[in-house]
């Protein structure tokens, strides 16, 4: 177990690198042994481009590990040029410079002695006089040598602003020119480097003395103000006057300068201005393009349909009914029929209304018609549920589109207009979770004439990202849709289903039942509520029902903050479900302790993250919402292992911000997932989160049991509060425009 040491003053150790024990080429994390005047020192940290034989000066602090002893944790380092013939020979013979091995190292030092490195850096053409070195090879040696010391300059320049791992990203983007590029326009950092936001770039710019009214700063700040609306509020655009006001506040600039900067950005088409009635909407270019594309492609797909007579379709449906012994309800029959005859079907409905039955029937008919079908959902857990329900393979939308990261470290989709999906029909479940950028990417990969079926529950929460696509599609009136609203007999006995529909219609759920699958445990304050949640997870539910606290029970809260929020609940639940123990490794990050045995959730899509399944097959991709357990933490290797339902993946510590504890999760994070037992703590939370669709979404995550713990008045408030924050989106209006052109 790693022990916390008191904070000490930074020290510096100098010596020669004798052994590279471990090196991560992606982020520069290194474990090495350094000879400091005959004393071996183990150094760990971000030490990019470090090689055996180099002399270095490392600044950091001493730490202690119970297994590996005393170590020096590096904050930053500098390479020091070797000066004697012996140290120069050792450095060159180590392979530090590409193209130079032990043989050529001896020849170079024999010829140029203590001037060898000066020749390598400033007179590389002289190296061509040595047997075995051509002029082309000499120039490559010079480039490799300069690269290492260019990296040193970048690390030193950014020290105090960014950590070494971020400096490595900057260097990889601009090479040795990075310092000059950033001095010229530091705001390029937040435009082009993942992980550097506007505030950090702005801090660096202030340190460089950049004018607060610099066009670079105003332009970057305005785009940042818009991007905050995407990430925090789900808005696709802001009205011009609102954007102007927010930008003035953010940047401390006067209104005229901001207005001029917005106008300049629209001329460059980095911002797009659109008239919606009397309102001028200002978009980031890529967000507008996504909404515009969605509108155009959805309309195009809706107009393309396979010419199958209605009578023949009815015959097929009757055949399915005979084979299954199930008679479809009128709206189910209508949905199945439209899936066959229409180019675009939008199917909505709450729990127990038979959406899965309709999907399975549609798949059967498509098999008869020899239509190849692709199934997908926005999250990994939603895709897994779809697979289990249909008996067919379903993928995440990202995996369906073959997402990966290019050399620019940004996400790209291999499937697009130039390389479309090879499917005659595409069925997407949980479409309410898809933001406008993801829907646009999906539609780009669908060939004209392909049947598209979008399935979701429009009464659930909108997507975390920008847009509100399902509601916009339904509200536009541009397409017919089928809403299933009949609860079927097998679901009608479930109080979960009954209460979910009561909540959705604005009625108080039944809270007094003692022999059903929906229970209410009244508690008057957040502390008591949290205590009951702990007791239920630790003792009562495992004892009474055999539920596994890690795999079967999920605590779902409307909020992250406060005594009833996930941050507090996760610490409390960790303390009883996975307390510290002798020999159980853990790692502290900020104020959070990650421990072997912890339940965790992946909180962003990582398409390059490698994994192996339990049979040994390898793959890539871990997705937002995937839940697993930490099964190993290696302090020495700076890595941890997470075992998910169907795969095992190893991370290095620099990726620890990709996971968070999942003993308790927010309602937003639970979307697209289902759990055998759901516990919902409802005591106090911000009013804006105590809404009807928040409660409805939480309740509908449960398969077998719901337990609400807290105040009845909070439930009443949520049921009556049908407030849904209006998002600034243009998709609905764009689709309505098609209706007008048809009339």
How does pLDDT run across 486-531, given as a tens digit for each residue? 887 565 689 999 999 999 999 999 999 988 999 999 999 999 999 9
Weakest-pLDDT range from 126-130, 194-198, 516-520, 527-531? 194-198
Q: Region 564-572: what's the mean pLDDT?
A: 94
Cβ count near 723 (within 10 Å): 12
527 burial via Cβ count (<10 Å: 0-12, 13-18, 19+)? middle
- pLDDT, residue 66, reads 63
Report whether pLDDT(299) > 80.
yes
Give yes or no for a contact between 607 and 412, defined as CB atoms under 8 angstroms apart. Answer: no
Strand order in the sheet with 702-710: 518-522, 702-710, 675-682, 553-557, 664-666
Q: Which two tokens stand for residue 468?
A: 């509100």
- pLDDT, residue 7, reads 47
- pLDDT, residue 6, reads 44
> Regarding predicted confidence, which is higher, 146 or 2?
146
Report whether pLDDT(462) > 80.
yes
Report whether pLDDT(251) > 90.
yes
Report whether pLDDT(734) > 90.
yes
Q: Region 181-210: what's the mean pLDDT?
A: 89
Report whether pLDDT(687) > 90.
no
Report whether pLDDT(289) > 50.
yes
Own/partner long-range contacts of 119-124 (Cβ < 8 Å, ≥24 apart):
120/145, 121/145, 121/146, 121/149
Q: How confident is the model at residue 1 (pLDDT cuts 50, 70, 90)?
A: very low
Report whether pLDDT(407) > 90.
no
* Per-chain mean pLDDT for the chain: 88
Report whether pLDDT(594) > 50.
yes
> Regarding predicted confidence, which is higher, 405 or 279?
279
Report whether pLDDT(685) > 50.
yes
Report whether pLDDT(28) > 90.
no
For 66, 92, 321, the CA distances from 4, given in Å and listed in that order, are 11, 39, 66
- pLDDT, residue 8, reads 52
Query: Which residues, at least 6 apart from 100, have a Cβ–Cβ distance to it below 8 Å?
Result: 92, 93, 108, 141
Q: Region 239-252: what's the mean pLDDT?
A: 96
Weakest-pLDDT range from 371-385, 606-620, 652-666? 606-620
Report whether pLDDT(410) > 70.
no
**How many degrees, rounded to 5, is the angle at CA 371 between CA 366 and CA 374?**
90
- pLDDT, residue 324, reads 77
State which H helix or E strand residue 208 sits in.
none
C-alpha–C-alpha distance, residues 71 and 56, integer Å: 16
Query: 649 in helix, strand or coil?
Result: strand
Q: How confident is the model at residue 24 (pLDDT cuts 50, 70, 90)?
A: confident
Q: How confident is the model at residue 442 (pLDDT cuts 50, 70, 90)?
A: very high
Q: Region 527-544: what's the mean pLDDT?
A: 96
Report whether pLDDT(550) > 90.
yes
Report whether pLDDT(4) > 50.
no
Weakest-pLDDT range from 33-47, 104-118, 368-382, 399-413? 399-413
Report whether pLDDT(397) > 80.
yes
Q: Could you give the percent of the chain with pLDDT greater than 90?
A: 56
Q: Region 705-731: what's the mean pLDDT?
A: 94
Q: How confident is the model at residue 439 (pLDDT cuts 50, 70, 90)?
A: very high
> Regarding predicted confidence, which is higher, 184 or 152?
184
Q: Region 428-436: what's the mean pLDDT?
A: 95
Going by C-alpha positions, the residue among 627, 544, 535 that lies closest to residue 575 is: 535
Q: Region 243-255: what's the mean pLDDT?
A: 95
Interval 332-355: pLDDT, tens:
999 999 998 889 999 999 988 889
Give yes or no for a contact between 702 and 675, defined as CB atoms under 8 angstroms apart. Answer: yes
> Regarding predicted confidence, which is higher, 617 or 185?
185
Report whether pLDDT(122) > 80.
yes
Report whether pLDDT(721) > 80.
yes
Report whether pLDDT(5) > 50.
no
Give yes or no for a contact between 639 and 650, defined as CB atoms under 8 angstroms apart. Answer: yes
Weakest-pLDDT range from 60-74, 230-244, 253-267? 60-74
Residue bearing tokens 């997870």: 537
- pLDDT, residue 306, reads 67
State which H helix or E strand residue 451 sits in.
strand 451-456
Parallel, antiparallel or unpaired: strands 69-80 and 394-396: unpaired
Q: Region 169-188: what's the mean pLDDT?
A: 85
Report whether pLDDT(482) > 90.
yes
Report whether pLDDT(424) > 80.
yes
Report whether pLDDT(697) > 80.
yes
């Amino acid at each position: 177990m790693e022990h916390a040491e008191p904070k000490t003053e930074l020290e510096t150790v100098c010596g020669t690198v004798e052994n590279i024990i471990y090196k991560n080429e992606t982020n520069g994390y290194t474990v090495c042994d350094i000879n400091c005047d005959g004393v071996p020192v183990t150094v760990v940290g971000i030490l990019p481009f470090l090689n055996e034989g180099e002399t270095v000066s490392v600044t950091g602090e001493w730490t202690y590990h119970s297994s590996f002893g005393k170590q020096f944790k590096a904050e930053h380092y500098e390479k020091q040029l070797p000066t004697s013939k012996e140290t120069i020979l050792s450095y060159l013979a180590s392979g530090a410079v590409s193209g130079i091995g032990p043989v050529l190292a001896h020849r170079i030092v024999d010829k140029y002695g203590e001037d060898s490195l000066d020749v390598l850096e400033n007179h590389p053409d002289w190296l061509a006089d040595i047997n075995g070195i051509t002029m082309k090879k000499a120039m490559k040696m010079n480039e490799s040598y300069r690269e290492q010391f260019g990296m040193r300059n970048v690390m030193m320049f950014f020290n105090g602003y960014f950590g070494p791992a971020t400096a490595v990203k900057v260097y990889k983007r601009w090479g040795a020119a990075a310092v000059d590029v950033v001095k010229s326009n530091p705001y390029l950092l937040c435009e082009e480097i993942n992980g550097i936001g506007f505030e950090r770039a702005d801090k660096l710019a202030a340190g460089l003395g950049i004018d607060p009214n610099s066009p670079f700063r105003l332009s970057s700040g305005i785009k940042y103000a818009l991007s905050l609306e995407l990430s925090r509020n789900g808005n696709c655009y802001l009205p011009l006057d609102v954007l102007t006001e927010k930008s003035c506040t953010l940047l401390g600039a006067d209104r005229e300068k901001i207005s001029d900067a917005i106008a300049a950005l629209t001329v460059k088409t980095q911002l797009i201005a659109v008239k919606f009635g009397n309102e001028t909407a200002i978009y980031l270019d890529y967000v507008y393009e996504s909404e515009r594309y969605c509108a155009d492609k959805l309309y195009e797909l809706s107009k393309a349909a396979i010419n199958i007579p209605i009578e023949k379709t009815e015959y097929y449906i009757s055949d399915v009914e005979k084979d299954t012994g199930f008679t479809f309800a009128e709206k189910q029959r209508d949905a199945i029929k439209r899936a066959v005859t229409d180019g675009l079907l939008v199917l909505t409905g709450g729990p127990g209304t038979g959406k899965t039955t309709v999907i399975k029937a549609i798949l059967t008919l498509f098999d008869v018609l020899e239509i190849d079908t692709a199934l997908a959902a926005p999250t990994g857990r939603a895709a897994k549920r779809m697979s289990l329900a249909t008996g067919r393979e379903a993928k995440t939308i990202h995996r369906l589109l073959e997402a990966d990261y290019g050399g620019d470290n940004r996400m790209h989709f291999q499937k697009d207009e130039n390389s479309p999906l090879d499917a005659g029909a595409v069925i997407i479940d949980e479409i309410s979770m898809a933001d406008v950028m993801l829907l646009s990417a999906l539609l780009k990969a669908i060939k004209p004439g392909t049947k598209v079926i979008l399935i979701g529950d429009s009464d659930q929460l909108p997507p975390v990202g920008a847009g509100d696509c399902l509601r916009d599609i339904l509200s536009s009136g541009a397409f017919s849709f089928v809403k299933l609203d009949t609860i079927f007999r097998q679901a009608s006995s479930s109080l979960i289903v009954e209460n979910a529909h009561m909540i959705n219609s604005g009625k108080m759920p039944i809270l007094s039942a003692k022999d059903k699958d929906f229970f209410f445990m009244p508690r008057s304050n957040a502390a008591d509520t949290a205590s009951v949640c702990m007791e239920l997870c630790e003792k009562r539910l495992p004892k009474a029902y055999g539920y596994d606290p890690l795999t079967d029970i999920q605590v779902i809260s409307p909020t992250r903050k406060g005594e009833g929020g996930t941050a507090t609940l996760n610490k409390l639940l960790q303390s009883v479900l996975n307390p510290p123990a002798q020999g159980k490794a853990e790692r502290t990050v900020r104020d959070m302790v990650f421990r072997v045995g912890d339940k965790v959730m992946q909180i962003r899509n990582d398409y390059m993250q490698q994994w192996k399944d339990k049979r040994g097959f390898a793959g890539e991709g871990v997705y937002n919402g995937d839940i697993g357990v930490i099964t190993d933490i290696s302090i020495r290797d700076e890595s941890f292992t997470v075992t998910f339902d169907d795969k095992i993946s190893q991370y290095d510590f620099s990726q620890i911000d990709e996971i968070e504890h999942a003993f308790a999760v927010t309602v937003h994070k639970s979307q697209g997932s289902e759990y055998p037992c759901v516990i919902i703590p409802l005591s106090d939370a911000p009013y804006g989160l105590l809404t009807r669709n928040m409660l409805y979404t939480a309740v509908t995550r449960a398969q077998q049991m719901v337990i609400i713990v807290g105040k009845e008045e909070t439930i009443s408030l949520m049921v009556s509060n049908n407030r849904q924050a209006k998002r600034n989106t243009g998709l609905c209006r764009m689709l309505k425009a098609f209706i007008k052109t048809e009339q």
